[in-house]
Amino acid sequence: MIARDARPRLASKARLRFDRHEGQHMLIYPEKGMALNATAAAVAELCTGERTVDEIVEQLAARHAATPRERVEHDVLAFLEQLALRGLLREGA
Amino acid sequence: MSAAGQAGSSRDAYRPYTLVAELTYRCPLRCAYCSNPVALADQGEELDGARWAEVFEQAEALGVVQLHLTGGEPLLRPELEALVEHATRLGLYSNLITSAVPLTRERLAGLAARGLCNVQISIQGTSAQVSERIAGRDWLQEKLAAAAWVHELGLPLTLNAVLHRQNIAQLPELVTLAERLGAERLELANTQYLGWALANRAALLPSSEQIELARAQAFAAKQRLTGKMEVLFVLPDYHAGKPRACMDGWARRYLVVTPDGCVLPCHQARSITGLHFERVGERSLAQIWRDSPALDAYRGEAFMKEPCKSCDRRTLDYGGCRCQAFALTGDAAATDPACPLSPDHAMVRDARERVPAAETLVRLRTPPAPSPRAGSGSGSGSGSGT
């Protein structure tokens, strides 16, 4: 489980790009790709090594005022966990 | 947020995500399982850099996001730098798939500066003896030096080892080596018995005991390294107990363009005689991809016969590998004999159970294909080691 005060950034092997064919972002890494929904893409963009996990949750919650904060928190943590399992996250800038 | 499906659940059933650009069949290595054609001498002239640049553009427009720069040995093409730069401009994820033998630190730094995304280096084993036996010469130290440069320059490294009877016992050492080199990904892919490898099957196919041990070792490494290094282990179809979803289905997710410009659904497809593969430049890549008869031949399920036709797994494995079906049965539409349900499965079972006790001689790739078109260097050697 990722620590709340960790400052995640995308591993150098992962590249985020917008896929105009499907109208969504994709995270590309060797031999693979993940199609990201808008929220996942926003989280990936915030993973620069500068913000803590808590700060990423705060920023997303502020953008989605209509969504309960616990829900946003759960989604962010679940997505970061998926990235970590695939070796796509590093810590620090 | 059900964040993300694997890309591949595309609305477009036949969107290619990956372009495999075989820039040349020339190679300093002579690997006995090379995926280049057995008839290396019969290939046409290599495409020039400008034509490749067009191919990249047209592939990107079709939906491709991954670009494999491979061969043969792609470093033998002096246009490589310009092509990487072009790929970067197009937003393609460029992966250099190399033997690393001709690599220098300066050249690698130049490729990194042009936006190269990943470097995949092949190694034949962890000993000089096995390297020499499989590739005709031992280059292990050169490869290890190159892998260290990849790491130093901050590029992600994939280490690729093709497994077979003569190196499969080195699997734990391969894992240790990959960790020491700081690899992000380790591919432990058993040889598949097509082309050169089929000719060398008696010398390469592991025993069931070897496979079971390797499978357990790879699984343990995978568990231990989760989140740190991705470990991929691929069984040989002969031992898998079910057919492999080869290339994720014929002409579905992968586009292969050969050094002479043929558009194929996989590296081996030209081994299926009777199919006419079109060349880039004859029509647009989009037209070739969408309605070339050869690419349509085994797309979807229309080609299937029993037992595939009514099988529950047909949408998962697509009936297995068409090239293997053709190589073993003479019918590319047949069920892959690797499937236990295939009426021809005995061929695979017999080969698997009859692994010879004595070491059989390995037949290496034949020496150089004819020299390439002017301007693409004077590489010696032939074909692929990647």
B:94-113 residues touching chain A, CB 8 A cutoff: 95
The whole-number average pLDDT for the span A48-66 is 95
A77 exposed, middle or buried (CB, 10 Å; 0-12, 13-18, 19+)? middle
Whether the CB of A20 is below 8 Å from some CB of chain B: the reply is no
What is the pLDDT, as a whole number, of residue B7?
52
Query: What's the gap in Å between the CA of B62 and the closest CA on chain A?
Result: 9
What is the pLDDT, as a whole number, of residue B362?
80
Q: What pLDDT digit, counting tens, does each position of B146-157 carry?
A: 999 999 999 999
Angle of helix A38-46 relative to helix A53-63, nearest 10 degrees?
Answer: 140
Q: What share of chain B is helix, strand, coil (3-state, %, to 5)?
A: 35, 15, 50
Q: In chain A, which residues have their Cβ closer than 8 Å to the Cβ of B230?
A: 30, 86-87
Q: What pLDDT digit, counting tens, does each position of B203-260 carry?
A: 999 999 999 999 999 999 999 999 999 999 999 999 999 999 999 999 999 999 999 9
Q: What pLDDT digit, counting tens, does each position of B12-36 carry?
A: 789 999 999 999 999 999 999 999 9
pLDDT at residue B378 greater than cutoff 50: no
Q: Which of B3, B95, B118 is opposite residue A37, by nearest beta carbon?
A: B3
Cα(B148)–Cα(B127) distance, rounded to whole angstroms?
18
What is the pLDDT, as a whole number, of residue B359?
67
Cβ B136 vs Cβ B33: under 8 Å? no
What is the pLDDT, as a whole number, of residue B3?
46
Q: Which of B3, B118, B226 is opposite residue A85, by nearest beta carbon?
A: B226
Query: What's the gap in Å between the CA of B293 and the closest CA on chain A?
Result: 25
Complex prediction ipTM: 0.94
What is the pLDDT, as a whole number, of residue A93?
66
Cα(B322)–Cα(B299) distance, rounded to whole angstroms?
11
Q: What pLDDT digit, counting tens, does each position of B266-288 carry?
A: 999 999 999 999 999 999 999 99
Please count the other Cβ atoms lying within 10 Å of the Cβ belonging to residue B140: 19
The whole-number average pLDDT for the span A68-88 is 95
Task: Give the count of Cβ contacts less than 8 A between chain A and B.
Answer: 94
Cα(A32)–Cα(A36) distance, rounded to whole angstroms?
13
pLDDT band (50, 70, 90) for residue B357: low
The whole-number average pLDDT for the span A17-39 is 95
Which range has the worst mean pLDDT, A75-79, B5-9, B307-311? B5-9
DSSP class of residue B6 equals E
Cα(B97)–Cα(B386) distance, rounded to whole angstroms?
6
Query: What's the gap in Å between the CA of A44 and the closest CA on chain B?
Result: 11
Assign 3-class secondary structure to A8-66: EEECCCCEEEEECCCCEEEEEECCEEEEECHHHHHHHHHCECCCCHHHHHHHHHHHCCC
Please count the other Cβ atoms lying within 10 Å of the Cβ belonging to residue A46: 18
Query: What's the gap in Å between the CA of B370 and the closest CA on chain A?
Result: 32
Return the SS3 of B163: strand
Cα(B122)–Cα(B112) distance, rounded to whole angstroms?
19
Percent of chain B with pLDDT over 70: 91
- Inter-chain CB proximity B3 and A79 less than 8 Å: yes
pLDDT at residue B368 greater than cutoff 60: no
What is the pLDDT, as a whole number, of residue B4?
46
The whole-number average pLDDT for the span B177-184 is 98
Whether the CB of B6 is below 8 Å from some CB of chain A: the reply is yes
Q: What pLDDT digit, counting tens, does each position of B76-96 carry?
A: 999 999 999 999 999 999 999
Query: What's the gap in Å between the CA of B91 and the closest CA on chain A?
Result: 8
Percent of chain B with pLDDT over 90: 86
Going through B197-337 in order, the beta strands assigned E by DSSP cover 230-234, 254-257, 263-264
Cα(B162)–Cα(B384) distance, rounded to whole angstroms?
13
Q: In chain A, which residues have their Cβ closer than 8 Å to the Cβ of B9?
A: 35
Topology (CATH) of A9-86: Arc Repressor Mutant, subunit A (1.10.10)
Whether the CB of A40 is below 8 Å from some CB of chain B: the reply is yes
Cα(A36)–Cα(A82) distance, rounded to whole angstroms?
12
pLDDT, chain B, mean: 92
pLDDT band (50, 70, 90) for residue B2: very low
Percent of chain A with pLDDT over 90: 94
Whether the CB of B13 is below 8 Å from some CB of chain A: the reply is no
Cβ B102 vs Cβ B87: under 8 Å? no
Question: What pTM value is reported for the model?
Answer: 0.93
Minimum Cα–Cα distance from A42: chain B residue: B3
pLDDT at residue B372 greater than cutoff 70: no
Tell me phi and psi for residue B28, to 5 degrees: -75, -20
